[in-house]
Amino acid sequence: MANSFTVAVLPGDGIGPEVMAEALKVLDAVEKKYDVSFKRTLANVGGAGIDNEGKALPDTTVDICKQSDAILFGSVGGPKWETLPPDEQPERGALLPLRKIFGLFCNLRPAIIFPALTGASSLKDDVIKGGFDILVVRELTGGIYFSTPKGIEGEGSEKTGFDTMKYSAAEVERITHVAFEAARKRGSKVCSIDKANVLSTSVLWREVVERVSKEYPDVELSHMYVDNAAMQLVRWPKQFDVMLCSNMFGDIISDEAAMLTGSLGMLPSASLAEGSFGMYEPSGGSAPDIAGQGIANPIAQILSAAMMLRYSFNMVAAADAINAAVEVVLNNGYRTGDIYQGGDNEKKVNTSEMGDAIIAQLNR
Ligand code: NAI
Ligand code: MG
C-alpha cells in the first residue's frame, strides 16, 4: 500500500492559481515516481474567500486545513480588496489567523541563488560565484511583535509608544531544535543571531541556544550580533548555512537575504507547527501587475511544494529531486520573464512551459 498524504490546496488570488497549477502538476509526477498519493482538497482563501464565501478565511477552509497533513498556499491580495478594513483584508484576514489557529511558530525562509542566475544578484560576481544556499529560521509567534504590554499612552510631547520584548526559555528552545534539525539535513552549521550586548532577551537566547547545541555535536554553532550579521550577509553570504533568528531580527534578515538573490519569483517558504504540520507558500505576493497573463515564475511555488515533502512528509529524496530538476532546467537556459536577461543560451518560457520543463527533468 502506497504512502498517502492529505493536502489542503489554497491557491488564493492573482498569480496564485496560475503558479499553483504547476506545483500540482509536479505533485502528480512525484506520485508516479515515488509510489505515494497526495489527496488534495481545494479551498478558497484571501480575495477568493471574500468573493465566494464572504471572508478571507472561510470556516470551510479552516475545516479542510484541519483535516489535512499540510497546507499548500499560493498568495493573496490585490487592488480589488484594498479598501476593506485592515482586519478583513486578504493578507491580515487570512495569514495571521492561519498562523494562530495552527500554532505556526517557526518560519523557514531559504535564500538560494542558483549558479545559473548569479547575474540577477545585486552582489559582485566574485562574491556570489557558484551561488549560495542560506536558510533563515525565524521565530514567528513571540518576541517584540506579540509581547505585552504594548500601546500608546499620554498626550502631547509626553505621548509615548511602547512595546515589550519577551522570550521564555521554552520558546527559544523549540525554535533552536528546528534550526539544528534543519542544519543536519543541510550544511551542518547554525549561526545564531542576537544582540546580547544590549538585550536581556538575547542573553537568555544565547544561553538556551548554547545548552540545546550540546545535543547536536555534529552541528557547528556560532553567534553573531544582528548588526554585524546584516553586514556579513552582503560581504560574504557563503559563510552562512542556517541563520537562527528571533521574530523581528528574522523578519529583517530574511528579507535582506532574499533580496541578495535578486529573484522574488524563485523563493519558497515554510511555516511549521509542532509535529509535522506546516504551511508552504512562495515568499512573494499575488503580483497583480502580471496576473492573468500566464507568465509568472512558478518556481517559488514548486519549491514550496518540495519543502512540504521535506519537512511535513519526510520525503527528502523527492524534495532533493525537485530542487535538482529546477537547477538543471535553469542551467539549460529556461527563463520566465522575471529572470530573463537575454543571454545567448536563454529560452524565454511562460508559466506552464517552465512547469513542463521541470517535470520532464524530474521524469528523466
Ligand atoms: P508581489 O510579491 O506580489 O510583487 C512584487 C514584484 O515581484 C512584482 O513586480 C511582481 O510582478 C513580481 N513577482 C512576484 N512574484 C513573482 C513571480 N512568481 N513571478 C514573476 N514575478 C513575480 O508584492 P506586492 O506588489 O508588494 O504585493 C501585491 C499583492 O500581494 C498585495 O495585495 C499584497 O498585499 C500581496 N502580498 C501577499 C503576500 C502573501 O500572500 N503571502 C505576500 C506579499 C504581498
Ligand atoms: Mg517581512
Q: Tell me what the mean pLDDT of segment 16-24 comes to.
A: 98
Q: What is the pLDDT of residues 332-347, one digit of tens each?
A: 999 999 999 898 999 9
Q: What is the whole-number distance in angstroms between the Cα of residue 81 and the centre of ligand 2?
A: 20
Domain identity same for 55 and 141: no
Domain identity same for 249 and 233: yes
ipTM of the complex: 0.97
One-letter amino acid at 241 equals D
The residue assigned the cell 511562460 is 350
CA angle 158, 161, 166 (to 5 degrees): 135
- Residues annotated as catalytic (active site), given as ranges: 145, 195, 227, 251, 255
Question: What is the rounded average pLDDT for all residues in the chain?
Answer: 95
Ligand 1 lined by 265 (C-beta under 6 Å): yes
Domain identity same for 234 and 346: no
pLDDT confidence of 120, banded at 50, 70, 90?
confident
Report the SS3 class of residue 276: coil
Q: What is the pLDDT of residues 290-309, one digit of tens each?
A: 999 999 999 999 999 999 99
pLDDT confidence of 115, banded at 50, 70, 90?
confident
Q: Does residue 119 surpass a pLDDT of 90?
A: no
pLDDT given at position 152: 96
Known binding-site residue numbers: 78-91, 99, 109, 138, 227, 251, 255, 285-297
5, part of any domain: yes
pLDDT confidence of 261, banded at 50, 70, 90?
confident
Q: Does residue 47 surpass a pLDDT of 60?
A: yes
pLDDT given at position 118: 84
Q: Tell me what the mean pLDDT of segment 161-170 comes to.
A: 97
The CATH number of whichever domain residue 197 belongs to comes to 3.40.718.10
Cα 237 to Cα 166: distance, rounded to the nearest angstrom = 29
Domain identity same for 228 and 138: yes
Domain identity same for 274 and 303: yes
Q: Are 245 and 136 in contact (CB under 8 A)?
A: yes
**All residues at 6 or more sequence positions from 252 whose CB lies less than 8 Å from its CB, including other chains:** 226, 230
pLDDT confidence of 312, banded at 50, 70, 90?
very high
What ligand 1 atom has the least distance to the C-alpha of 74?
Answer: 40
179, part of any domain: yes
Q: What is the whole-number distance in angstroms between the Cα of residue 47 and the centre of ligand 1?
A: 14
Q: What is the whole-number distance in angstroms between the Cα of residue 23 and the centre of ligand 1?
A: 18
Domain boundary among 193, 228, 261: 261
Domain identity same for 192 and 256: yes
Q: Tell me what the mean pLDDT of segment 95-124 comes to.
A: 90
Helix ranges restricted to H, the chain: 16-34, 47-53, 59-66, 90-101, 125-128, 169-184, 200-213, 226-235, 247-261, 299-311, 316-331, 351-362
332, part of any domain: yes
Pairing of the two strands 151-153 and 132-139: unpaired
Cα 11 to Cα 78: distance, rounded to the nearest angstrom = 14
Report the SS3 class of residue 16: helix
Q: What is the whole-number distance in angstroms between the Cα of residue 246 and the centre of ligand 2?
A: 13
Q: Does residue 1 surpass a pLDDT of 80?
A: no
Domain identity same for 76 and 196: no
Domain identity same for 276 and 332: yes
pLDDT given at position 319: 95
20, part of any domain: yes
pLDDT given at position 263: 75
Ligand 1 lined by 286 (C-beta under 6 Å): yes
The residue assigned the cell 478594513 is 85
pLDDT confidence of 201, banded at 50, 70, 90?
very high
Domain identity same for 249 and 142: yes
* Exposure string for 103-125, b = 16+ CB within 10 A, e = fewer: ebbbbbbbbbbbebbbebbebee
Cα 111 to Cα 85: distance, rounded to the nearest angstrom = 33
Q: Tell me what the mean pLDDT of segment 207-234 comes to.
A: 98
Domain boundary among 236, 261, 286: 261
Tally of domains within the chain: 2
275, part of any domain: yes
Q: Does residue 262 surpass a pLDDT of 90?
A: no
364, part of any domain: yes
Domain identity same for 51 and 1: yes
Ligand 1 lined by 344 (C-beta under 6 Å): no
pLDDT given at position 264: 77
Q: Which ligand is nearest to the CA of 251?
A: 2
Ligand 1 lined by 16 (C-beta under 6 Å): no
What ligand 1 atom has the least distance to the C-alpha of 298?
Answer: 18
112, part of any domain: no
Q: Tell me what the mean pLDDT of segment 222-247 comes to.
A: 97
Domain identity same for 134 and 234: yes
Domain identity same for 100 and 38: yes
The residue to mutate among 264, 335, 341, 352, having the most atoms of ligand 1 within 8 angstroms of its beta carbon, is 264
Q: Which three cell numbers stand for residue 178?
A: 528546528
Beta carbons within 10 angstroms of residue 243's beta carbon: 27
Q: Which ligand is nearest to the CA of 136?
A: 2
pLDDT over 90, % of the chain:
87
69, part of any domain: yes
Domain boundary among 218, 236, 261: 261
pLDDT given at position 130: 82
Q: What residues make up the domain containing 191?
A: 122-261
* Exposure string for 168-193, b = 16+ CB within 10 A, e = fewer: eeebbeebbebbbebbeeebeebbbb
Q: Does residue 232 surpass a pLDDT of 90?
A: yes
Q: Does residue 127 surpass a pLDDT of 70?
A: yes
pTM for this model (two decimals): 0.92
The 8-class DSSP code of residue 120 comes to G
pLDDT given at position 114: 87
Half-sphere exposure at residue 266, Cβ-oriented, CA atoms within 13 angstroms:
28
Q: What is the whole-number distance in angstroms between the Cα of residue 240 and the centre of ligand 2?
A: 20
Known binding-site residue numbers for NAD(+): 78-91, 285-297
